[in-house]
Amino acid sequence: MGEIQKDHIAGCYGKKYLVFEVTSLKEPEQCGKTHAAYISKNVVAPKGGGVKKSKP
């Protein structure tokens, strides 16, 4: 594995972790794969706390 980008690393109590997720696919892919793995990105949340909802 090559260089790991800093936005893929999460830290806690002075330790560094690479966070990833493995999930099953609804149907096997053309090549027969039944699962997929994704690397999570460490994203800073915007100030203000959350998503704005539109008024009806």
pLDDT digits (tens, 9 = 90+) for 26-47: 999 999 999 998 887 766 666 7
**Shortest CA distance to 20 belongs to which of 41, 42, 39?**
39
Is 29 inside a domain boundary?
yes
Give me the percent of the chain exceeding a pLDDT of 70: 68
- Rounded CA-CA distance 40/10 in Å is 9
Is 44 inside a domain boundary?
no
Is 56 inside a domain boundary?
no
pLDDT of residue 7 exceeding 90: no
Between the alpha carbon of residue 5 and those of residues 9, 13, 16, the distances in Å are: 7, 20, 12
Q: Residue 1 has what pLDDT?
A: 45
Is 15 inside a domain boundary?
yes
pLDDT of residue 52 exceeding 60: no
The pTM of this model reads 0.48
Domain that holds residue 25: 6-39
- Rounded CA-CA distance 4/6 in Å is 6
Domains contained in the chain, number = 1
Q: Residue 13 has what pLDDT?
A: 83
